Structures are given as C-alpha cells and as structure tokens.
A and B are shown apart, each in its own frame.
Chain A
C-alpha cells in the first residue's frame, strides 16, 4: 500500500496553484477592492440599485435570462425526451446536429441571428415575400432572446437527455396500467424524475445568459445587458470603479447559480455565450 504522500501531491499541484493565485485570485481581489474606490467608496456597490441605468440593465438582464431559461427548458425537454424515447433512422444525426453549436463563440451566434432575423435575414426575406414587409428582429430584445436561446438549447438538451436516459420505463408503465393518462404520466412521473436535471441545466442556462457578452456585442442592440453596461462603463466612460463593482456583482450571481447546478447534478457544461 502506497502511503498518501502529501508533499508530493502538493508539489504536483503547485504550478497550477501558483498560476491561479497570480492571475486569478490576486487580480479578482484587486478588482473587488477597486470596485470600492469610486467617489462613494464601498457604497459604489450600491450603484446597481441607485444608478437608474445600472438598475435597468440589471433588471433587463435578469428578465431576459429567466425568459430564455424557461423557453430553453420547455423546448429542450420536449425534444430531448423525444430523442431518448424514440430511436429511428437519423435520430443519432439529429442529436449531433442539435449539439453542434455547443462550441460556437458568442460572436458567431450573434452573426447566426443576423443571418436569421437581420436586415437581410431569412425571416425578413420570407415575410417580405408573404406579407410584403420585412420583419427584422435581430437588433431588438427579440434578437438577444433568439441568440441566447441558440446557445442555451444544445447545453440544456444534453443535460436533459442524460437524465432522461436514467429514467426507469417500468415506472411509467406502472402508472399507465394503474390508469394514468399521458398527461398525468408526464406531470406526476416524468417531470419529477427529471427535476434535478431540469434545475441544474436551468441554472447553467441562467448563469450563461447573465454573463453572455459576445452575442450582445455582435447584435449591437440598444438594449443594455449587464455585460454590455460593464463594457461601456470601462471603455467609453472610463468608470473603472463602476465597471469593477458591477463585474463583481455579476460574477457572484453567475457563480451562485452554477454552484446550485453543481450541487444538484455534479457536473456543469458552462461555456462562453
């Protein structure tokens, strides 16, 4: 039996620890301190409530993220359950296609939405042909909504499919044989069994939407989501303390959401949006 050789493990983990301390923990601490060096000192953390522009952007981002999460969960549950339950020719391809945009950066997703719903986009072209009027959604709240949905669906579908595969079909059969309708089976058997997966993927989806920068940046909407507000404060207004305090608040929100996800499911697939 090898003794647990802690000095050796410590040595092996040291390079990673040093890089993390130097380039993450120390700078993040500094960021938190800088956030409290504005005109009002530590009270500048309250700017998210007191400055109307910051507060509005916070509310808009939270509402958008909640809306995207709700839609992504419903859409992905329907599609994910279907794909787990039914094997048919091409179903594997469908799964691959649905998870294909996982590695797209936020900027590319923004461009996808421009092609879909922008000024020369597909939806505009079709609506122009049908009703003689170009429907342009990309640069409004709808564009952001579609974009966030675009990067959320693949992630949520993967998590839901993973938990749906663990479902015991016998439970469902038992419920049916006892006379439950399809609807009752869904509400009383399937959804409760999927609940941990749904909460976990919902939290991931919410956190990613809150922090998404690339998509909003490409769509260049006049709706200020929180990451865009931080970016503007830092680059245009040179309000470094304000940008720092907003970043810390945003970081805490996303971290808590993902912590919740991990405690429920044990794994998170968060990436940039």
Chain B
C-alpha cells in the first residue's frame, strides 16, 4: 500500500515526540553503567555505580517496598468493600462519596502533606515512624483502587449473580467472597498494580512526610540528584526503572486483555 506524504510527516513528528520521552531514559540507563559519562561509553562498562547505590541506598528500596505492600493491604481491606458498597448504593449518593474519595488526587500532595504535618506533627512517635508516610500513600492511592474496582463492578452483572446466590440461601459473606470478589478480580488486580506503582514512585507527599530515618526510594533519588555524581544518580534511577517497568508492562497487558471482556450474561438489572 502506498502511503501519502503526510503519513511520513506525521510519523516523523510522532517519532520525535517518542525520542523526547525515551532518549533521556536510555541516557540515564547508560550513564548508570558507564565508567565515566563525560568521557562516554568508550570509558568502559561497570557495575561499580550500581554497587555503590546498593551500599548507600538499599534501605530506601526496602522501605519503599514495605510501605507499598502495607499500602496495598490497607487498600484491599478498606477500598474493595467501599467500592462494592458504592456499586450497590449507586445513584447520586455514590457519586458524591466517590467525588470525595478522589479529592486527595485532585489536591496537590504538598498541600495534603502540610495538612497532615500541622495536624499530627506533634505526635512525635507517629511523626518519625514510616506509618506517617504510609498514611499519605493510602490517601493518595485509595481513589485508584476504589475507581478501578467500581468500574469493573458496574460493568458486570454481579447483582444478578449475587441474587442467584442469595436465592439459593448463601449468606452475605459467602456471596461477597465467592460471587462479588471473583467478579471484581480484574479491577482488584489493575487497582493493586496501580497502588504499588504509585506508592513506590510517590514523591510530593513523601518529601514532606519523611524524616532522615524514613527515606523512601524517590526521596533517596532526589537526594542523589542533588548531591551525588551523575553516574551514581543514573545508576539509582536505573534501579528504580528496573522496579517500576515490570509493573507498567503488567498494567498495559492487563488493560489490553480487558479490552475484550468475556461477559456471560449482560447486566439488565442496571437499566
């Protein structure tokens, strides 16, 4: 097939945009494993900087993972039931509640962090522990879990299925565990990936909430950008990419598989 000239023009434009986004990431990855970035690649390949990052900053990586896991657990226990309730209640009430839950995403993290510090900064033990950061992360990620689960639930026929189970005498908790949760699974999975990714990368809140003893990965990154040589900062960024890219790919694959939903029964109850 012959392509018109404008096709190549647009292709070139799109490639330039793509290069703008990707070239710095590649540069960063290369700088992290290059002996001397100013001399260039010919100065040789090395793991020196990665090892140095590990020695200096491994604790920030552990703390970030710890906070992300706890954040996910809390999200599962409070976010999924909340999403189910909202899907059940429906209508204007549910929309208003959803609107309120989304507020922490709409308001800059800096403002929320400031509010938390002014309100709870006086509780010293709480202030200096990592649970102070966790609180911020839960506020910031909960909207994503709730909306993800809510979107899947409202697009499925869980109400009919739940009624079927109820008519067969299943008590509420059975219905919730064996009917609602399996139906909400794609939403829970997508929401969980989102929660982990956002928590591991969160900076705006965390920078205000952290203490010298509770540094997370992005806080460490900011620290290395300000005070370390370019190669160390790049190696650290590379470590971050290695953690975050698999999560991103998993999210894209999940989104793709959900684009062809296999529905057994269409939801007629909703209309």
Choice from A78, A111, A214, A217 contacting B233 with Cβ under 8 Å: A111
B160 to chain A, nearest CB (A): 10
A2 to B84, CA, bound (A): 15
At the interface, yes or no: B119 with Cβ under 8 Å from chain A?
yes
Across the two chains, which residue of chain A brings its CB closest to B135? Answer: A23
B155 interface contact, C-beta 8 A: no
| Interface-located stretch among B47-55, B182-190, B221-229 | B221-229
**Main SS class of interface, B:** helix
Q: Which of A62-70, A112-120, A168-176 contacts B (4 or more CB under 8 A)?
A: A112-120
A37 to B25, CA, bound (A): 45
Chain B, residues 108-143, CB within 8 Å of chain A (1/0): the string is: 111110111011100000000000000100111010
> Complex: how many Å from CA A6 to CA B89?
8
Q: Which residue of A lies closest to B217 (CB)?
A: A105
Task: Check if A34 is an interface residue, CB within 8 A of chain B.
Answer: yes
A33 to B248, CA, bound (A): 40
A113–B248 Cα distance when bound, in Å, is 21
Residue pair B78, A79 in contact (C-beta under 8 Å): no
Asked if B86 contacts A13 (CB within 8 A), the reply is yes
Q: Are A23 and B116 in contact (CB under 8 A)?
A: yes
- Asked if A130 is at the interface of the complex by the 8 Å CB criterion, the answer is no
Residues of A within 8 A of B198 (CB): 103, 271
Q: Which of B6, B138, B166 contacts A2 (CB 8 A)?
A: B166
Q: How far is the CA of A268 from the CA of B105 in the complex (A)?
A: 10
Q: A112-B24, A116-B23, A213-B108 are in contact. Are A220 and B78 (CB under 8 A)?
A: no
Known: A79-B13, A103-B244, A213-B204. A111 touches B114 (CB 8 A): no
Quick one: given A122-B23, A217-B222, are A15 and B105 in contact (CB under 8 Å)?
no
**Count of chain B residues with a beta carbon within 8 Å of a chain A beta carbon:** 85
B82 within 8 A of A: yes
Other-chain contact of B106, A96, A113, A243, A258 (Cβ < 8 Å): A258
The minimal Cβ–Cβ distance linking B117 to chain A, given in whole angstroms, is 8
Tell me the bound Cα distance from A10 to B203 in angstroms: 33
Q: Report the interface size for chain A: residues with CB under 8 A from the other chain.
A: 87
Q: Which residues of B contact A217 (CB under 8 A)?
A: 207, 222
Contacts of A30 in B (CB 8 A): 115, 118-119
When chains A and B are docked, how far (Å) is the Cα of A26 from the Cα of B162?
Answer: 37
Kindly list chain A residues whose C-beta atoms are within 8 Å of the C-beta of B13.
78-79, 82
CB nearest neighbor in B for A261: B106
A-B pairs, top 10 by smallest CB distance, nearest first, are: A211-B108, A247-B111, A27-B115, A112-B24, A27-B119, A12-B81, A9-B85, A31-B115, A251-B107, A16-B82
Q: Spell out B's residues near A (CB within 8 Å).
A: 6-7, 10-11, 13-15, 17-18, 20-25, 27-28, 31, 37-38, 77-79, 81-82, 84-86, 88-89, 97, 100-112, 114-116, 118-120, 135, 138-140, 142, 146-147, 159, 162-163, 166, 172, 197-198, 201-204, 207-208, 218, 221-222, 225-226, 230, 233-234, 237, 240, 244-245, 247-248, 252
**Besides the contacts A105-B203, A211-B109, what 14 more A-B pairs have beta carbons closer than 8 Å?**
A2-B166, A4-B88, A20-B101, A23-B138, A30-B115, A105-B218, A115-B31, A116-B23, A120-B230, A211-B110, A251-B107, A262-B102, A267-B147, A272-B201
